[in-house]
């Protein structure tokens, strides 16, 4: 009887050990089999803009490393929240990703009351690629030659000047609102669905200025079709080194940047998340990729998943202050 009991006990222990081993091995097996089909990469802004350009570069390089097609899916509108909503509703299996902005989705809860997703609950940040230059750009024949003259113009005629943005409640809109608050001026906001939509009106002079991501404006700045008055980064941009920072131009403390972060739906298996993080960081070490991103005015960061997660509370608080100080209503 004792031998039978011992045998049963050993059998139970063996089954238990195998079960634990299977559970521990399952994520590894899942990651080893991933990906075995095409991956959709959502770009929540229109084709031709800064996010789209970076998404296509990332998709091309990630496709080569994973040996699977990366299909770019542009879902513009509502300051990036249409694409983000689509990501939040997607299966957490690694086959739907999004190149989005920590900043945009930190702002979103303050301005979209019926938002169907929460950055902290519904997204799994994978890797921050970098942050991009925000530029104050004006039409070519704009009377003000610098930020000081612009502020003087705006104070002389409150509400006469307008600024374009890539969407109501998005970063570019709040960049303008923060400028209004810090410079003490009254500007009228004109929202578009993206940078590529506002560009024709800016080039034609139908809207005088924009606080926008640098990449779509860079060719026109270099050709002289528009002029850059200042960049919002802490230091000057290597892409347009002659353009002063906002602080240098007289708006002390004004600092903002676009953000390029790869997200997945919450619940993505950890092994897949870590594998994607590793691949993105390797891609960011490529001289070709670094040169391309730098030429777009993007400062490359990379780093761990934890480093991305730590940025989120800080960004939420910063833009919450801008919304409250401006008493902004979006209903």
Q: What's the rounded Cα separation, in Å, for the pair 36 and 81?
A: 29
Q: What is the pLDDT of residue 31?
A: 64
Q: What is the pLDDT of residue 101?
A: 92
Residue range 74-101: average pLDDT? 94
Q: How many CB atoms lie within 10 A of CB 299?
A: 17
What are φ and ψ of residue 70, in 5° steps?
Answer: -115, 115
32-130+259-325 and 133-231: same fold?
yes
Q: What's the rounded Cα separation, in Å, for the pair 210 and 202?
A: 8
Q: How far is CA 198 from CA 151, 193, 252, 284, in A?
A: 22, 8, 28, 30
Q: How many CB atoms lie within 10 A of CB 238?
A: 12
Residue range 223-252: average pLDDT? 96
Q: What is the pLDDT of residue 23?
A: 43
Q: What's the rounded Cα separation, in Å, for the pair 330 and 310?
A: 28
* Residue 34 pLDDT > 80: yes
Lowest mean pLDDT among 71-85, 86-100, 175-189, 281-295: 71-85
Is residue 190 classed as helix, strand or coil in its secondary structure?
A: strand
Q: What is the pLDDT of residue 13?
A: 52
pLDDT in tens, 110-158: 877 788 999 999 999 999 999 999 999 999 999 999 999 999 999 999 9
Q: What's the rounded Cα separation, in Å, for the pair 195 and 255?
A: 20
CATH code given to domain 133-231: 3.40.190.10
Q: What is the pLDDT of residue 25?
A: 44
Residue range 37-56: average pLDDT? 93
Domain ranges of the chain: 32-130+259-325, 133-231
Q: What is the pLDDT of residue 209?
A: 98
**How is residue 245 annotated by DSSP?**
B
The rounded percent of the chain whose pLDDT value lies above 70 is: 90
pLDDT in tens, 284-318: 999 999 999 998 889 999 999 999 999 999 989 98
Residue range 93-111: average pLDDT? 92
Q: How far is CA 174 from CA 163, 167, 181, 211, 310, in A?
A: 11, 10, 10, 9, 22
Q: How many CB atoms lie within 10 A of CB 325?
A: 13
For the chain, what is the mean pLDDT?
Answer: 90
* Residue 15 pLDDT > 60: no
Which CATH class name applies to 32-130+259-325? alpha beta
* Residue 260 pLDDT > 50: yes
Q: What's the rounded Cα separation, in Å, for the pair 213 and 298?
A: 10
Q: Name, in order, each residue with C-beta under 8 angstroms of 316's C-beta and a sequence gap of 6 or more.
A: 106, 109, 119
């Amino acid at each position: 009887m004792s031998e039978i009991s011992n045998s049963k006990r050993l059998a139970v222990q063996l089954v238990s050990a195998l079960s634990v081993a299977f559970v521990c091995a399952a994520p590894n097996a899942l990651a080893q089999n991933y990906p075995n089909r095409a991956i959709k990469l959502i770009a929540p802004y229109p084709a031709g803009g800064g996010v789209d350009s970076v998404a296509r570069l990332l998709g091309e390089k990630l496709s080569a490393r994973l040996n699977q097609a990366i299909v770019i899916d542009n879902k513009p509108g509502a300051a990036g929240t249409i694409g983000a909503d689509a990501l939040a509703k997607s299966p957490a299996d690694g086959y739907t990703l999004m190149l989005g902005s920590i900043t945009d989705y930190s702002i979103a809860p303050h301005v979209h009351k019926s938002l169907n997703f929460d950055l902290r609950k519904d997204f799994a940040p994978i890797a921050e690629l970098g942050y991009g230059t925000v530029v104050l750009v004006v039409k070519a024949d704009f009377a003000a030659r610098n930020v000081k003259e612009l502020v003087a113009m705006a104070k002389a005629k409150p509400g006469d000047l307008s600024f374009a943005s890539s969407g109501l409640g998005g970063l570019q809109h709040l960049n303008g609102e923060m400028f209004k608050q810090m410079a003490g001026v009254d500007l009228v906001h004109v929202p578009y669905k993206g940078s590529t939509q506002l560009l024709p009106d800016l080039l034609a002079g139908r809207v005088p200025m924009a606080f926008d991501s640098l990449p779509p404006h860079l060719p026109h700045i270099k050709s002289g079709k528009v002029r850059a008055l200042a960049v919002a980064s802490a230091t000057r941009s290597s892409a347009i080194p002659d353009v002063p920072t906002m602080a240098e131009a007289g708006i002390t403390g004004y600092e903002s940047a676009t953000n390029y972060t790869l997200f997945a739906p919450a619940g993505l298996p950890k092994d897949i998340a870590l594998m994607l993080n590793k691949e993105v960081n390797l891609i960011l070490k490529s001289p070709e990729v670094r040169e391309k991103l730098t030429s777009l005015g993007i400062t490359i960061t990379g780093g761990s998943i934890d480093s991305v997660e730590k940025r989120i509370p800080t960004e939420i608080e910063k833009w919450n202050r801008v919304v409250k100080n401006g008493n902004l209503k979006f209903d």
